Amino acid sequence: MSNQSQGEVDAANVMASAMKAAEDLYNIRDTYFPSNPDDKISRLQAHSDLALNLLDSIPSEQRKLPMQRATYEYLRGKILDVFPEYRKEAEDHLSKAVKLSPSLADAWLCLGNCIWKKGDLPSAKNCFTLALSKGPNKKILSQLSMLERRMAQGAENQAEIVEESIKHAKEAIMLDVKDGNSWYNLGNACLTCFFVTGAWDHSKLLQSLKAYQNAEKDESMNSNPDLYFNCATVNKYLENYERALSGFEAAASRDPGLNSTEEVRKIVNLLDKLESLLRGQTKAKRLNSWASSLAAVNLNPSYRKATVGILSDGLNKKVAIIGKVLFFVKHENVAPLYYLVCDSDQSCYVLSVYGMRDEACDIEIKDPLQIKEGDQLTLLEPNYRDVDFSWNGKAYRFNSVRVDFLEQVIVNGKAISSTQAVRTAILAQHKP
């Protein structure tokens, strides 16, 4: 073998090693979450320096051909772009790479991510679209889906953009049905869609849970703290308290920098408060007084009157329950609003109301259609659950009723004012 041929082989081997070093670098970015974020930056810096030194060890005469030069520029830009903040030097190298080799899809992906950090979202989208014009790619489709959700924030056609995000997320899955990151991205897209379309289509919320569950089947996703955090957030909204607590703890064990431990504390504090209030309302005389004070209600004939004790698990269509508000339960989260309610059978239950302003419970506000202690409520099509689980040795058991829209709540015979409505929002974790 000639010296020139041997040099080309050596250069190719070093280039392959540099590619492996770049992949290892991004693996650190995506899986290493120390308690001190500075430790992560230090490790990334050390490994990026090693990767750049390895790349620069390739003799200049072995990177003169367009494809060799393009690969070199792409890897250098990718290595420099591993950090959270935007770096112009990274963009410059990646721009050179795509000019030298427009078919280099991963270079377009990295360039789009880099420009996204700069805040130029339309240009970032253009990079992803150009890359897809070269052929289908699950990573680029997922990033495009993620970017579209970011672009939807504050846009007039928000719902339409999010639907495009779901479309691209599904296209990524079709390319590899076992890819956990694609499923995770679809879960985030469905979760976002649920809230931007008014938080009424629960099929979207359940689709997000199913997608997250599919993502968890991919072992490569086990180290992704955002997957567990987002899934726990959905379970928290659905009041699957035990699953939410387990999910937040799993997220905290993977990334102490997330506020997962704080979320666990808030849920446990709420449950302890609910359990304490329920235990204090078991006196027969007091319950009998509340139950006997319930007035007769003229229901729409299409609704069947029921008590909480005979509700079915889940949504109870064409059913109405009537109760008296015993307490408004103050807690640390924005939504939902919690109340302790008693029905005609003297059964107490926890009521959670979504989509209503917290100020609606302030007795100083002069709106006569607030929900306050002593009010009589008629709840249409309630969503029922028998909460029964233990956490850290403490048992929690109570009847839970949830309503998602103000139209489901009648206060003292009158509908709640639409001025008290507010849209609930949960943002899925997503990083460029």
**CA atoms within 13 Å, Cβ hemisphere of 77:** 27
Q: Calculate helix-pair angle for 225-237, 260-279, nearest 10 degrees.
A: 20
| Of 328, 327, 339, 345, the residue nearest 284 (C-alpha) | 345
Spatial separation of the C-alpha atoms in residues 218 and 182, rounded to whole Å: 10
Q: Which of 268, 226, 227, 224 is nearest to 245 (CA)?
A: 268
pLDDT score of 304: 94
Residue type at position 430:
H
> C-alpha angle 209/156/152, rounded to 5°?
40
Query: In the chain, which stretches have pLDDT less than 70?
Result: 1-8, 199-200, 282-285, 334, 356-369, 417-432
User: For residues 104 and 98, is the Cβ–Cβ distance under 8 A?
Assistant: yes
E strands present in 4-98: none
Structure-token match 């479309």, residue found: 167
Q: What is the pLDDT of residues 183-207, one digit of tens each?
A: 999 999 999 998 887 766 778 889 9
Q: b/e per residue, 189-215, with b = 16+ CB within 10 A?
A: bbbbbbbbeebeeeebbebbbebbebb
Residues 33 and 257 sit within 8 Å (Cβ to Cβ): yes
Residue 202 is predicted with a pLDDT of 74
- From the list 52, 164, 172, 37, the residue with the least C-alpha distance to 109 is 172
CB 230 within 8 A of CB 243: no
Q: What's the pLDDT tens digit per position in 220-277?
A: 999 999 999 999 999 998 899 999 999 999 999 999 989 899 999 999 999 999 999 9
- What is the helix (H) or strand (E) element at residue 24, kind and residue range? helix 3-31
Residue 374 is given by DSSP the state: T
Residue 91 and residue 118: Cα distance in Å, rounded?
10
Q: Rounded CA gap, 287 and 291, in Å?
A: 6
Residue pair 147/131 in contact (Cβ under 8 Å)? The answer is no
pLDDT digit string, tens, across residues 150-183: 999 989 999 999 999 999 999 999 999 999 999 9
Specify the pTM: 0.86
Look up residue 295 and give its amino acid.
Answer: A
